Structure 1
Amino acid sequence: MEDIYIVMLVALFALAVTDLVVGVSNDAINFLSSAIGSRAFSMRNILIVASIGVGVGAVFSSGIMEVARKGIFLPGEFYFEEIMIIFMAVMITDVLLLDFFNSLGLPTSTTVSIVFELLGAAVSMAAIKIYKDSGNFVDILNYINTSKATEIIIGILLAVVVAFIIGAVVQYFSRLIFSFQFEQKVKYAGAVFGGVSLTAILYFILLKGLSSVTFIPEAFLNYIDENTLVIIGAGLILFTLFSQALMSFFKVNVLKMVILVGTFSLALAFAGNDLVNFIGVPIAAWQSFELWQSAYTSTGVLPSEFLMSGLQGEVSTPPFLLLGAGAVMVITLWFSSKARNVVKTGVNLSRQGEVSERFDPNFISRGIVRYSVILGNGIGAITPDVISRKIEEKFQNQKAFSRDDDETPAFDLVRASVNLVVASILISIGTSLKLPLSTTYVTFMVAMGTSLSDRAWDRESAVYRVAGVVNVIGGWFVTALVAFSAAAIFGAIIYFGGIIAITVLIGLAIFSIARSFVLHSRKEKEKAKTKPFRRKDISTINDIVVESSKNISSIVCGVNQMFSKTVKNLGYYDKGKLKKNKKSIKKLESEIDELKRNVFYFIKTIEEGSLDSNRFYILILDYLQDIVQSIGYITRNSYNHVNNNHKNLKFNQVRDLKRVDDKMQALFDEIEDIFAQQDFARIDVVLAGKQALLNDVGELIEKQIKRIRTTESSPKNSELYFGLLLETRDLITSTMNLLELYREFNFAVETTRFPGVRP
């Protein structure tokens, strides 16, 4: 009888290790984004500081399972068998849910996920018990602490609204004090700013960090609580003097000191308080097993008859498990690329400069931006001109925040410091008031508020950034809903399916994690192959040639493959593969969209007087867009024809299209190689076959006209076939126009008509 529960315990601890990895990958945004975004230190140094904070927090963690102590459900109402089902459902759900958010690169709350998973699994188990006993489902309230779930929801709303507003207000006044040219102002106001910031962070560490340390005497904690104002006052004086000494004698930038200490404090608090979100459930299962095993040895009580009243108290974690969990967290910080993706989302949404916007605008973001502009114009109209001019001077941003450049900051040290200090203060206040705040929600919304005040969200980017924030916030609420529902469903499946259901669900979790890892690795490799645009790399027409040749080679390769696959899959009437082709075409379109978004920066960075080179690049984009539009039409129309269950093309039509495909494949292979090797002298050979290829397509059009007059009886087939041939002709024409442009360019290089070109 014990064997099945031992197997479940092993599975739970294995899931806990996986949960640690995916959980830390998501929560890394809490303590890494400000330091990474500001480039205050190298990535290596940031990770060292964060690792120390995580390690210290893990070692000093009390190991108390917060959610059990807070009573999300009442353990005394459930039997041991039911408790183990609840815990298994929770861990499987948590691993799947957090990995899903990591794959999307979106931050979510591990605290909220674990709370609602426990709530969902417990509700499911309580409902099954009530149904079996023919009871009233209102009695579920006797099993669940509904007030705690309400507190969590209120905490989420408070965190979102309050953190955003406070972050925005503090950053606004900080910018008025320091402006963007803060280097000089720091010499005079930096000591006070450092004193206030370091005092706030100290209070945060004392309240949020040390409160969970087991060996700290209760008398010391009581002293801190009773003498809070004295400690804050003394800290303010000492840290102000300390900051001044650092600046005057050691020439240390006090803002960097604040960022360093702030990153450490948030990492410490995360590990010290949130660690048990990942390992608390298996620890509680272990303790449950020990309680039942002891009772079974002495009385022979069955798992289905032993009530778990012993779990009503605190669930302590052995120190060696805390050390092991801390080690896993530190390793994850260093090696998880998904953690960097989640951090990148927060950094890019708050970036001062331009960025490739990840989120598409929606009606909510458009409405918020529109009415915000109206409100801003109204406030500006009633503000005296003198005050307006003074404020505008403070926000004159003369620093170069490069676009998508890993070597330059997304925002400055002032904003990074405010992010960390305000987040620390709010989390400290929430803790003192015993509010169930999420560190993820607080840190993210503070960063968004400071971004708004710093005018990082201008008219060019606001609608995209607001859409991103709306999506992230929506994801938080989806976290609660999905966590509750999935855990409830998994709990019911395990109850009725037993060990077979557990095996299947764990297999599902393993498959999902493995698939996510493979897809993520593949995506990262594709990104590595594609060199991102960087302004400083482009300055002459030669740079444009190199850059555009790579882009053309890549796009022509994609078009070549897409054309061949579409013709082949259309011939086989394969709806599934045609649907994949339709989805794949979006990748080519996104490449073109990205190149078009960069036109402004190309023109800005090309050497003065290179008007012809700018025109040259714009024409390249125009032809590439025509090429992608043609292949997009061919792909989508082929899929729509099959999806609508129209008749397949006739054998002769498919055969003729295959012949065209063979010739197109030879053409595109040659073009791809020309641009990959940048051997533009071979262009004339390709252009010589232009008319012959167009004539071949023209002949097929004539053949179809004759078919219609004699044997063709399907209007839809004719519509599709004509469309494919006409778009193929346009595809050939656009491709040849691109080649002719490069032929003219070669002549221009020889005659040095392009400024900045090496003949």
Structure 2
Amino acid sequence: MGDPYILMLIALAVLAVVDLVVGVSNDAVNFLNSAIGSKAISIRNIMIIASIGVFFGAVTSSGMMEVARKGIFNPGMFMFQDIMFIFMAVMITDILLLDIFNSLGMPTSTTVSIVFELLGAAVCISLIKIADNNAQSIADLSGYINHKKAFEIIRGILLSVVVAFSVGAIVQFFSRLIYSFNFQKRATYINALFGGFAITAITYFIIVKGLKGTPFYSNIKHLIEGNTLLIITGSFLFWTSIAYLLIRFFKVNILKVIIGIGTFSLAIAFSGNDLVNFIGVPIAAWNSYEAWVASGVTADKFSMEILSQKVPSNVWFLLIAGTIMVITLWTSSKARNVIKTGIDLSRQGDGHEKFKPNFLSRFVVRTSMVINQGISSVIPKKTLTYIDSRFQKPVIKLPKDKTYELPAFDQVRASVNLVVAGILISIGTSMKLPLSTTYVTFMVAMGTSLADRAWGRESAVYRVAGVINVIGGWFLTAIVAFSAAAVVAYLISWDMVMIPILLASVAFLIARNTLLYRKKSKEVKKQLFIERSELITINGVIEESADHIAEVASRVNKLYTSVVNDLAKHDLNKLRKTEKYVAKLNNEIEELKDSVFYFIKSLDETSVEASRFYIMVIGYLQDVAQSISYISKATYKHVNNNHKTLKKGQLKDLKKIDNQLSTLLNGISHIFETRSFDDLTTLISDKKRLLKDVSSSIENQVSRIRTDETSAKNTTLYFSILLETQDLVTALMNLLETYEEFHISTKNAQLS
């Protein structure tokens, strides 16, 4: 009888390891963003500090494990078999959900995932039990679900979003008033007071409050309880004195110390608060199994009331989990992808924006501007002038090839992010509330970004759109987690044979997502948009523009051939796919166009003249992409509307043009890949023959219309393709002529 449950426990243990990996990949953003974004400490040292914090936090997380056992449902209402079904459903759903978000590079909440998965699976099993019991109705559902605790947790999570954003914005605003952006010039006593306050907050809330609920707390309980004010005052005086000595005599940058301690403390808070999300369910399953085996009762008759009791967690389980989390931190590429999203949304200044503006983001920005104008009209001008002076960013003069060394934001904001987030998470942990560390840290970072005027007129609409997308993803997490866990729980309860099927599905989907992510990562490396950090010379302009031209020529060649072939077969599905590839090409060239400002800023002094050439190249590439886009859309529309197939003569002419265009585009790709620019002259001379053939095809169609052509739609499509092909070839020729001219002038300049 015990065999299937032993296998389920083994499966849960494996799922716990996988969940730790995918969960940490998502949650690493919570405690690494500020330190990495500020570049106050080297990446290696940040990782070492965070790793130690994760280990320490793992030991303090035992009190949180009760959430998985009794936080969401009343265990006494379920039998052992029911509990195992719920736990299996939760772990299977959790892994899939988190892996999808990691692959998208979107930070989501592991806390919200686990809470709503437990809720969904428990509700499903409860409804099944109610349906099998004639004496119960839907009204009895409240007896199964710990609705008061569940709503308390959900309310705490939602409240943390508002509180984190507001507190982060307020603290950052006053911190900037105190420090301005020239924090190196602040008086020693100001730095010491700031350091004393920050470290006191960290030590009290992270260490003192963090120890509550651990086996060690009983040994020091008598020293802490009732002495809160004395501990805080003493700590503040002690740490302020230490900070003053470090600054005054050892010239230590106290903000770096705060960032280091803050990263350590936030790693503790993350591990202490979020470890339950990854291993709480498997540990609860193990405790349930031990109690069931000792009882000797059948699995469908043994009540799980024992889970309502306080059960000490196995410290070895916690440390093993901590080890896996640390290894994931050092090795996960998905973690770096999620971290990048958080830093991009909070960085100071402009740059390439990942998110597209939408109606809501535009509305929020416009409304904020109106409110800001209203507030400014009330505050005295002298006060506004003083506030503006504190937010004036210093001009940091670096050689252009060193601009990549600039941090995303300064050390003042990084310190505020870490201290505020750490305090809020620790308060939630001490109250046994599984606050979402993702929500808290992300919203604190967004609040400090707003208060720090990081969202200017150039970037606000994109940043707000990003925040809306992330928050929307959080709500989607809750809905999907609840629904998916309920479905999985139903399938498992229907027949236990579904468990190996579902596990196999999980393995397949994770492997598939991993392969797709790797493929996507390679595409990103090859992507036309390049965020400039190195200095660009004349040769750099030639190299980069040549890469762009070779890539576009190769892709347009494939797309044009696909359109012609799929039009001949009237293959709507393939034309739909081609439409997507064409749209992707257009988007990438649009990004190139948007990045021209940063490209030109990166040019060295001797290469500024090349900017005009580069702009023209991008313009011609855009013309080429627009032509293939029009051809693709017109063809798709024609086939989608079920119009007649083109006649054999028309298709023959199109295929002839396609072959000639393919030869031309292959030649362009070869020349620009091999950098054999001296062959451009021969290639340019071939254009006349191709353009002549296109003109001949137009004349042939005119003759057909006057004799045997009966379809107006066919004629419209055919002329559209031919005319756009003419424009495409013309744009290519203009591009080649411009490049040849630039190549010759550059070569002559280098020889002279």
Q: TM-score range by the shorter chain?
A: over 0.9
Match of 2:15 in 1: 15
Match for 2:469: what amino acid?
A: N
User: Counterparts of 2:311 and 2:700 in 1: how far apart (Å)?
Assistant: 81
Change (3 A) 1:536 1:219: closer
Q: Is 1:533 the counterpart of 2:530 in the alignment?
A: yes
1:248 and 2:229 correspond: no
Q: Alpha-carbon deviations, 1:237-279, whole Å to 9, x = none?
A: 1111111122223222110000001101111122223212211
Residue type at the aligned position of 1:525? K
Give 2:405's match in structure 1, choosing from 394, 404, 407: 407
1:646 aligns with 2:643: yes
Map of 2:421 onto structure 1: 423
Structure 1: distance between partners of 2:707 and 2:132: 73
Q: Output the CA distance in 1 between the equivalents of 2:686 and 2:484.
A: 60
Per-residue Cα deviation, 1:159-218 (whole angstroms, up to 9, x for no partner): 11111111111111111111112111164421111111111110122244322432x141
Q: Is the 8 A contact 1:68 1:314 kept in 2?
A: no
- Which residue matches 1:347? 343
Matches within 5 A, 1:540-559: 540-559=537-556
* CA distance in 2: counterparts of 1:168 and 1:397, whole angstroms: 18
- 1:437, 1:445 → 2: CA distance? 13
Contact 2:592–2:618 (8 Å) recurs in 1: yes
Secondary structure of the corresponding residue to residue 457 of structure 1: coil
Letter in 2 for 1:382: V
Letter in 2 for 1:506: L
Contact 1:176 1:391 in 2 (8 A): yes
**Matched residue, 1:311:** 307
Write the distance in 2 (CA, Å) between the matches of 1:265 and 1:328: 19
Quote the offset at 1:750 in angstroms. 5.0
Offset at residue 143 of structure 1 (A):
0.3
Map 1:680-699 to 2 at 5 A: 680-699=677-696
Whether 1:382 aligns to 2:378 is yes
Partner of 1:43: 43
Counterpart in the other structure of 1:483? 481
Offset of 1:539 from its aligned partner? 4.6
Cα pair 1:64 1:314 within 8 Å, conserved: no
Q: Which residue of 1 aligns with 2:458?
A: 460
The answer to whether the 8 A contact 2:643-2:713 is kept is yes
TM-fit CA distance, 1:91: 0.6
Q: Superposed, which structure 2 residues align to 1:96-135 within 5 Å?
A: 96-134=96-134, 135=136
Q: Tell me if structure 1 keeps the 8 A contact 2:274–2:437.
A: no
CA contact (8 A) 2:29 2:338 kept: yes
1:329 aligned to 2:325?
yes
Assess, with a 3 A threshold, how the Cα gap between structure 1 residues 130 and 399 changes in structure 2: closer, same or farther.
farther
Q: Does 1:727 align with 2:724?
A: yes
Could you tell me how far apart the structure 2 residues matched to 1:517 and 1:456 are? 34
Tell me: CA distance 1:521–1:427, structure 2 relative to 1, closer, same or farther (3 Å).
same
Q: For residue 672 of structure 1, give the secondary structure of its aligned residue in structure 2.
A: helix
CA distance in 2, matches of 1:534, 1:479: 31
Q: Indicate the residue corresponding to 1:210 in structure 2.
A: 211
Determine which of 439, 445, 448 is the counterpart of 1:447.
445
CA distance in structure 2 between the aligned counterparts of 1:17 and 1:632, rounded to whole angstroms: 46
Which residue is equivalent to 1:514? 511
Q: SS at the partner of 2:212?
A: helix
Quote the residue 1:593 is aligned against.
Answer: 590
Letter in 1 for 2:342: G
- Structure 2 CA distance for partners of 1:221 and 1:361, relative to 1, 3 Å: farther
Q: Deviation of residue 535 (structure 1)?
A: 4.4
CA contact (8 A) 2:349 2:456 kept: no
How far off its partner does 1:95 sit? 0.5
Superposition RMSD on alpha carbons, in Å? 2.2
The aligned residue for residue 194 of structure 2 is: 193
Which structure 2 residue ranges, 5 or more long, are not aligned? none
CA-to-aligned-CA distance 1:634-661 (integer Å, 9 cap, x gap): 2222223333333333333333322222
Aligned-pair distance for 1:69? 4.8
- Cα shift at 1:437: 2.4
Distance 1:280 1:428 in 2: 19
Question: Does the residue aligned with 1:513 lie in a helix, a strand or coil?
Answer: helix
TM-score normalised by structure 1 residue count? 0.94
Ranges in structure 1 where 5+ consecutive residues have no aligned partner: none
Alpha-carbon shift at residue 677 of structure 1 (Å): 2.7
Compare 717-726 and 401-410 and name the one that shifted more: 401-410
8 Å CA contact 1:354–1:403 kept in 2: the answer is no
Check 1:324–1:617 CA distance in 2 against 1; reply closer, same or farther (3 A cut): same
- Report the Cα distance in structure 2 between the residues aligned to 1:404 and 1:674, rounded to whole angstroms: 33
- TM-score for the superposition, normalised by structure 2: 0.95
- Alpha-carbon distance between aligned partners in 1 of 2:98 and 2:187, rounded to the nearest angstrom: 41
* Cα offset, 1:62, TM superposition: 2.2
- The answer as to 2:55 corresponding to 1:58 is no
Q: Residue 86 of structure 2 contacts residue 118 of structure 2 at CA under 8 Å; is this kept in 1? A: yes
C-alpha deviation, 1:398, in angstroms: 2.0
- Distance in 1, Cα, partners of 2:751 & 2:517: 41
Identity of aligned residues (%): 55
Counterpart selection for 2:614 from 610, 613, 617: 617
Q: Check conservation: 2:209, 2:427, Cα contact below 8 A.
A: no
Cα shift at 1:612: 4.5
SS of 2:447 mapped into structure 1 = helix
Per-residue Cα deviation, 1:115-173 (whole angstroms, up to 9, x for no partner): 11111101001111112224311111110011122212321221111111111111111
Give the CA deviation at 1:464. Answer: 0.8
C-alpha distance in 2, partners of 1:639/1:221?
Answer: 73
Q: Quick one: which amino acid aligns to residue 447 of structure 2? A: G
In 1, Cα distance between equivalents of 2:510 and 2:327? 18
Q: How many matched pairs?
A: 749
Counterparts of residues 71-90 of structure 1 (less than 5 Å): 71-90=71-90
Aligned partner of 1:238 in structure 2 is 238
